[in-house]
């Protein structure tokens, strides 16, 4: 079962990946472009994962069983 603390573990992993991409970006005239692109891609992937994870953790619409009679639903 998924736990809520997975978001913070993922955030720590993302922070490490961003720091690594900051320091190990190729040197040269395009270094800022490499850093920006890598960090933006990493953060975008994390946000997509986090939103999907949180949406499944607490759904807005609860599923209902359709094979029950109405007298049991009350």
- pLDDT of 15-59, one tens digit each? 999 999 999 999 999 999 999 999 999 999 999 999 998 888 877
- Given a contact cutoff of 8 angstroms between Cβ atoms, the answer to whether 33 and 72 are in contact is no
pLDDT of residue 74 exceeding 70: no
68 confidence band (pLDDT: 50, 70, 90)? low
- pLDDT at res. 41: 96
φ, ψ for residue 27, nearest 5 deg: -75, 150
Q: For residues 49 and 61, what is the distance between their CA atoms, to the nearest angstrom?
A: 20
pLDDT of residue 1 exceeding 90: no
Q: For residues 49 and 51, what is the distance between their CA atoms, to the nearest angstrom?
A: 6
**Contact residues for 23 (Cβ-Cβ < 8 A; gap 6+):** none
């Amino acid at each position: 079962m998924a736990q809520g603390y997975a978001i913070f573990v993922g955030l720590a992993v993302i922070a490490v990946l961003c720091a690594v991409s900051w320091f190990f970006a190729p040197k040269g005239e395009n270094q800022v472009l490499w850093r920006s692109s890598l960090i933006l891609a990493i953060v975008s992937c994390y946000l997509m994962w986090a939103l999907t994870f949180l949406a499944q953790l607490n759904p807005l619409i609860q599923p209902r069983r359709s094979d029950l009679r109405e007298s049991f639903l009350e």
